[in-house]
Amino acid sequence: MASHTWRILTNRDSLWVKWIHSYRLKDRNFWDAPIRSDVGWGWRKILGMREKIRDFIVSQIGDGASTSTWYDNWHPAGPLYRHISSHSILNSNISLSASVRDIVFQGNWTSPLLRDNSNPSICVSPLPVLSPTTPDQLLWRTRDGRLTPFSVREVWLSLRPNEPDVSWHHLVWFSQSIPRHAFILCVALKQRLKMHDKLRFWEAHSDLSCAFCQNGPDSHSHLFFECPFPNLVWNGLKAKMNLNGVPDNWDDIISMLQQATKGKTIWSIIRRLVLVGTVYHLWHERNNRIFKSKRRSHIMVGKTITDDVRSRLLSLTFKPSPNVDRAQLAWNLP
């Protein structure tokens, strides 16, 4: 959506941008265009996110001809319409469509509305220096204040929630992972799968029981891997991870694998693939039993996980080494 906005603001040479200016804006400034109820969803979304990206889009003054005096972000105080009311502008000798070039003449403001403004952030700021041979330029201002050409990457880095990495991120998001498996593991690590312990508030009077053992409601710790059925599946896969003393408790498993899966060795990749595959297929089996009345043995579930991991390994290339030789034997790889 920010890319669409940038195309409109820079008058990109495209039929869509020309249509927007002719039929949607109709000579109005983009930042001042109203959100009407009779327009399409896409246009409403573009207009609706203006304030979210407003302060990141900066006009670098050259000749001042294409920068709006009131609506563009060129002044140190930000867009001037935030500090000066429309009523005051209309009562001055400057129009709403005036450019920066219209308000500066021979190093002075052309209107007392700016020259004698009571707002110190406006009257104290130095006047822009116009360069008749240089056009104005739109730039993206990053979170740390750098001015840079527009790119989707810079927009994403500026707008995304900026939180510290969680300690388990490399268990989930690694280049060799299977995306649908990784997503379920991520939700499980955040304790947000819709287990019975999460549904008790809405299902207070329902008889909730584990799909595997029927001994009361299930939970994240129960499914991974305190329940007898998931525990059988997990124990059947431990030998294929080339890791001694793998625990059965969820917190202990995550803590141990965080240390045992650093780097890009073949065993590091295998251990992560086994973990994400096991979580995914146990969650899948649990839901099939509850909602579709379909059941598989722990041997069949374990075989499905093994097949998925093996198929992913077959798509990868490894340099010959003793570790790779051992993995080939353990996973029956060519």
**pLDDT for the residue 86:** 82
Q: Is the pLDDT reported for residue 124 higher than 90?
A: no
Q: Is the pLDDT reported for residue 110 higher than 90?
A: no
**pLDDT for the residue 203:** 65
Residue 204 binned pLDDT confidence (cut-offs 50, 70, 90): low
Better-scored residue on pLDDT, 111 or 207: 111
Percent of the chain whose pLDDT exceeds 70: 99
Between 63-67, 77-81, 119-123, 126-130, the lowest mean confidence (pLDDT) is in: 119-123
Q: Is the pLDDT reported for residue 224 higher than 80?
A: yes
Q: Two tokens at 236? A: 């059947």
**pLDDT for the residue 297:** 96
Query: Which residue in this structure is represented by tokens 């305190």?
Result: 226
pLDDT in tens, 247-300: 999 999 999 999 888 888 999 999 999 999 999 999 999 999 999 999 999 999
Q: Is the pLDDT reported for residue 205 higher than 70?
A: no
Q: Two tokens at 285? A: 């089996």
Better-scored residue on pLDDT, 5 or 201: 5
Q: Is the pLDDT reported for residue 245 higher than 90?
A: no
pTM: 0.67
How confident is the model over 6-21, as a mean pLDDT? 95
3-state secondary structure of 109: strand
**pLDDT for the residue 125:** 77
Q: Tell me which residue of 285, 201, 276 sits closest to 237, measured CA to CA.
A: 276
How confident is the model over 191-220, as a mean pLDDT? 82
Q: Two tokens at 39? A: 């327009």
Better-scored residue on pLDDT, 108 or 241: 241
Contact in structure between 210 and 222 (CB atoms under 8 Å): yes
**pLDDT for the residue 198:** 77
3-state secondary structure of 145: coil
pLDDT in tens, 49-94: 999 999 999 999 999 999 999 999 999 889 998 888 888 888 887 8
Percent of the chain whose pLDDT exceeds 90: 70
Q: Is the pLDDT reported for residue 111 higher than 90?
A: no
Better-scored residue on pLDDT, 309 or 206: 309
Q: CB under 8 Å, gap of 24 or more: what pairs does 70-76 form?
A: 70/29, 70/96, 70/98, 71/29, 71/30, 71/31, 71/32, 72/31, 72/100, 74/100, 74/128, 75/122, 75/125, 76/121, 76/125
Q: Cβ neighbours of residue 46 under 8 Å, at least 6 residues apart?
A: 1, 4, 5, 8
Q: Is the pLDDT reported for residue 327 higher than 70?
A: yes
